[in-house]
A = this chain, B = another copy of it.
Amino acid sequence: MKTFLDCIPCFVKQALRAGRTASRNEAEIKALLDRIGRRIESISLEHSPPEMGLIIYDEIRKITGVEDLYEKEKKEHIAEALRLYPKMVRARDSSADPLLTAIRMAIAGNVIDLGMEKNFHIEDDLQSVLEQEFALCDIADFKRVLAAAEHILYLGDNAGESVFDRILIEVLGKPVVYAVRGRAIINDVTREDALASGLGGVAEIISSGSPAPATILKYCNEDFLERFNKADMIISKGQGNYEGLSETDRPVFFLLKAKCPVIARDIGVEEDDIVLKYALKKQ
């Protein structure tokens, strides 16, 4: 997905919010905004929005020296999701369609996002997403592609959400490779977070190599690209991965909650809608 003009003020707002998390020094935060301001010029509208996320968090690292801004929050979110895990497993297994229920749960986990303005409450939001109608639901394609798939690549999004990914991976019934970010950025899931979420027992965990809060192929490592090109099913979680891959010709299923109005418009749904979208679907 390309960057829209509306993304630009939003980048500055994100930088302010992240700056305030990283520092209490007003002059330091102002210096961050000055640097982000200067870099607006370098944003091409042809690039995807998470490339600016990369720049913002790089600048924060430079100015504040904080490497992993949301380390504490990530641990808390994983702990809270793990607390909910047994209850979710029971709900999934006693439902009429455990696969679809697990997909809903994986999408529900996508509310855990510190890159967005919106506040969230994991347990309440989980419940409301479980009851929400899909705005777009390519479940028939999902089941068909899954049945034939030998190589499933699952693109993780945020820490904590990763526990909800596990709920889904457990019922896919196929070997799964779970890809995490190349380094800590916002609250995106890293190898350490994936292991803490219990994903080590259900998937092979690899790094995409992407340092951005998204799967941006030009930043990914060789190993990941090979698996990406070989996979016959790719499950992509969250907005960042959608932004990076929306124009792909690979068999990608996007599972997300459209938390941003620009992304919602790009997908053709409303803000706050939940989506299971097959990239190769003829619209």
CA of A36 to CA of B11 in the docked complex: distance in angstroms?
14
Encoded as 1 (CB less than 8 Å from any B CB) or 0, chain A from 26 to 44 comes to 1001100110111111000
Q: Are B38 and A41 in contact (CB under 8 A)?
A: yes
Whether, in the assembled complex, A139 has its beta carbon less than 8 Å from a beta carbon of chain B, the answer is no
Give residues of chain A (50-90) contacting chain B, Cβ–Cβ below 8 Å: none
Copies in the complex: 2
Of the candidates B5, B6, B9, which one forms a contact with A9 in the assembled complex, judged by CB atoms under 8 Å apart?
A: B9
Of the candidates B5, B26, B36, which one forms a contact with A16 in the assembled complex, judged by CB atoms under 8 Å apart?
A: B5
Q: Using CB atoms, name the residue of chain B closest to A14.
A: B9
CA of A163 to CA of B76 in the docked complex: distance in angstroms?
57
Q: Using CB atoms, name the residue of chain B closest to A40.
A: B37
Whether, in the assembled complex, A202 has its beta carbon less than 8 Å from a beta carbon of chain B, the answer is no
Contacts of A38 in B (CB 8 A): 37-38, 40-41
Of the candidates B33, B37, B45, which one forms a contact with A26 in the assembled complex, judged by CB atoms under 8 Å apart?
A: B45
Contacts of A16 in B (CB 8 A): 5-6, 8-9
Whether, in the assembled complex, A135 has its beta carbon less than 8 Å from a beta carbon of chain B, the answer is no
CA of A34 to CA of B44 in the docked complex: distance in angstroms?
11
Interface residues of A (CB under 8 A from B): 5-6, 8-10, 12-13, 15-16, 19-20, 26, 29-30, 33-34, 36-41, 45
